[in-house]
Structure 1
């Protein structure tokens, strides 16, 4: 029999009821009582619901047929996770003593050098009486100085106090001193109290919440006193088994941690994401579970997790673990507790397109675009796998929210991990009306919007159909003299670089080329005979 269950059996055989707790898979908790065991190893459970569902259960199931007030409300009804119990519950015996306790949310963080005899300021946050009795606690509070053997060698009196059950103080600023005659060495300063019931003779240490600052470490070297704060766990990961997780399956994962910090009992979780691409591919956050990690120890924790099927295959996932702290205002923080890398065998990586510049209306003339010859210039990045597919251009109207028209382009190619690919998207719309303005946005072939919103939107006013208009490169009617392009009779001239980005636009028939960088350009002229395009080479 395992040591854990042997402890349960010992309690029941001694005639002591065992307060027992657990949570469901959905983290719904309940506390109940084990008060017997039969010859088959089933424990008798009093669920605390007026006799409802009381009976014999295996520790590994604890799944009542029906539940009362305080029970689970989800479809997961077995309280078989994060189990714990309280031992030693019994009626008062001869010589029994009251268990007094003061709980502290936190103490202030100290990290500085002082001299012997200096007054060192420390703040106590949210201290209250949470003893196992309704009696009022009359106590004296101290900062006690302990040597390396755990002996008190100095006391700093703080105050007398009278604390009814669950009462205390929100914030108390205190001071302590390090004696001037203290020898060199390592010491600790802890928050303690004594109580009136035994004439203030027994020293009790105040309890501090999990993950909070515990006490102060004191290092004396000559006249120098180095004061630091013992706070929380300090974990490194020694090993992870297995070294690859399977997406879509429940994985049993053993993780060995080395703790060079303080004790920790509380919630624990992990976060899984592709290294460097947290915002690109799907991620996974595990549910929180209760763990116990002793100070200065090496422990192996077991995780049974269903890994989502949508996680992609990659050999460089980050496995980041977290523990949780509560500050003096009651807010819970998630604190990094160590990380490593792991592989995941999952879905094929998708492309991850991102627009880096505004959409360009390449064949806009006099503020309109021909509805059957739409040409858009787009700069795309791709943080994922290669994209080899069409895209969808959708048109919507602010005047009619129910309106939508779209066209699908030819296949475009944006290589994997591309930092910039310029593409021209061509197509036609059939439902738009001449003279009306519509918003155009671009979607992937899987109908996913391409971010960001401030780039992926352009307003276009549509003209009559432009069938038969020639866009071939010609030279007739375009002249270059004195750093100026001239096109007699032109209404508008536009200059584009080789990538299709608009460099300059002028009304009329003259466009300056002065101070243009070396390279290849295209000039488009909109005149009486329609558009004409000429290739310009600047040397």
Structure 2
């Protein structure tokens, strides 16, 4: 079906009570234009509707739209803009194909339904927030392009041997297996009977040979032969049998637990299942991202509850804004990047006990690693057999008799933690000390360790086990010895260890959602960098950064990292104050409500607008959080408790502005809008940059313009061929598009990973002036894999003698002036960054495989390809 509409505003029938956070159609349009090409007819309709709303009796921000769907005018993708900015700005986008809302697959329909539920709650209660409200505008170099190249579906030829839809569970599993090309043959056999038609299905996996070489990424009608069809249909049928697929005309279904069992039992995968509700959104997202960084796509499933069927698909990449790329298993339909953070709605309110609501809590992932040579096993801490112990919102970690300030033996205690696992836990608790690289320095178990562990002694009535949901609310005390610590920075964390029925001990792992101490040892003295608290407590996790210079009268991006040091429910708005040398606030900015995970770092990326009359200066930044449900406030502490944060503001004299707005964008050689950050110029080949400008009504300029990229560091100007190269602003109030010509990497000579700001340079009275309006969002362009020699391509060329060796699972690097070591996969993905604070040698645990090792010293850096075995 041909998509006719370019913009679809999805409306709900309920009314809203509070509108302060709603995104208007005009605001949504501006956001959408960063991702897709919106035709002028649609733009005029939306801007006309916005103008009508302003002049009507309705509040300007009033709306009942959970999201706006914009399709690219050339059929090259879509974007779903949130209807409430507490959900972040963008819920989903794709550069692959338009979104046909008349033919939504069940998996996308599920996500849109959940987004609507979140929107409804946000508008009914302004005290609620989501994790996406603070993280949506993140601009990081950390991303993984979609790992899967397959776009399989559930009908012909995939269902040739099933006669019904293959089912989302089987399709997700099959695409994962095709990605890994594993196994060659299965193990065991299985028979079951479907409930609807009482038909028996069976498979002998040990006799199945999976012909991966015959399977194709896409099965378009007329573009595959019978052998290729049989190969994929055989795989789909076997996977369906392995999970007891309940085939029917209306749809085919299976359980997530069956998928986990099948991967382990029949297909020789190391696999484990993880629930978002156990981890919290921050850790859950980090687990997904870390698996993808290491080249492992994940099975992901969501359950809407209420007795309705769940859905399964594949997560195979993520972007710089932490949106996860989804392959839904419907022939590429609606594949794209989607927000999981927007589903994590939470509140500080008493009625919710500060806990997240149910939306998205039913999300689970299955990690799957092929059991073959050279492939890393799943980390023990993520396995189901690992302890699943977590602190609750009364978490307490404290030294007995006060915090030590010298290296000595000391007693420490913690309490209020629970067994999140569905099975009873038996084992012991302890305290671990770790260095800055996360390596274990010392473990101090409970006094009951030699007697079978804490649970054996204190839970005798339950056979020495803590039942599922069981709570430890009394102090568990430990004696720790700090006397052997050398100078350095350490963290001290609660840990747990499981004991098997045969008495054998497992590995020590950190307790989840746990408080910690961070301290520095210098000489024989201890200085604390981070302390847990029972009361509301926060501190800056790092110094703030900005995108370029901060100028009075301009907008700028401020990047903050704030760590919550307590479990007390305390979400709320953040007031930022610029303080002068007399400690007086000269500028204030207040954010929307922010959702803070307990004992975790929340990253905020804020757009601030400074007044023209703000004097240049060196201002201390103060952040004050006000609880959503009380008048209680908490001032955010300094970095490491001793380093205040500062913002330097400069003054720039500017002429009167001629433009009311400017929207920048980047296109690839298919003329699709793409992200402007970290553009892979090796993959894209040719690119264009451009902008859509709107002149002020009284603007008077008729002359030349040149699109220019300005180096944010050196301020060097790089002029671009510009079309049109002259404009008359008297005719530009309705918008004029200005484009560059095709840009080649070798001609641009941009430095990898460096930001360049797009400017529109005009010659006014003999002076070159940038027409870009101060209040318009800047377009920041950066590239990767560029050929310009002065800057490394993420991996530098070898230019030094190196001392690198691998033995018995350890990578050893020795070099004078050693600063840090970066480990990349052969295809250039960074999988480990190891900083070295002291010494000229480091040993890093590393699984056997092929790597590129980058070593940075005080003299420079070099790389080496290394086969570890």
Which band: TM-score by shorter chain?
Answer: 0.3 to 0.5
Would you tell me which structure has more strand in proportion to its own residues? 1
Give the structure, 1 or 2, with the largest relative contact order (CA under 8 Å, sep 6 or more): 2
Q: TM-score scaled to structure 2, two decimals?
A: 0.25
Higher helix share: 2
